[in-house]
Amino acid sequence: MQVDELSRTFAALADPTRRALLAQLAHGSAAVGELAKPFDMSFAAVSKHLRVLENAGLVSRGRDAQYRPASLDARPLRAAAAWIDDYQQFWSDSFDALDDHLATLTDKEKQ
């Protein structure tokens, strides 16, 4: 790998399929077959995404008969949140508040 923990965490989060997998796992452990259902892609592809999440430390795998249940491990997110929080002042400074508010409104219009 050769790349630092924080980079692996952000890279893992950069894919919407993987974020959706984490969201599912937030409701509890699940096996690959269960996790793959919402996605229009092969089990093998989901298995690969789980491997990426595992390498980022965001999920751990177990064994239950034929199943390899995945479970969420959110700890790496703490460092990611800490990194981002260092920039909070740059979006929450009072002189930015109006800009932020307007941007929020604009974003909502786009949807």
Partner DNA sequence: TTGGTATAGAACTTATTGGTTGAATATAGA
Partner DNA sequence: TCTATATTCAACCAATAAGTTCTATACCAA
Region class of 2: left (phi > 0), else alpha (psi between -120 and 50), else beta: left
Find tokens 């249940």 and name the residue: 69
Cα(54)–Cα(67) distance, integer angstroms? 16
Q: Is residue 46 a contact partner of residue 39, using CB atoms and an 8 Å limit?
A: yes
Contact 31, 67 (CB under 8 A): yes
Q: Which is nearer to DNA, 65 or 98 (CB)?
A: 65
Among a copy of itself, DNA, none, residue 97 binds (CB under 5-8 Å by kind): none
If one asks whether residue 42 binds a copy of itself (CB under 8 A), the answer comes out as no
Binding site for a copy of itself (CB under 8 A): 3-4, 6-7, 10-11, 13-16, 19, 22, 26, 60, 72-75, 77-78, 80-81, 83-88, 90-91, 99-100, 103
Binding site for DNA (CB under 7 A): 2, 11, 14-15, 17, 31-34, 36, 40-45, 47-52, 61, 63, 65-69
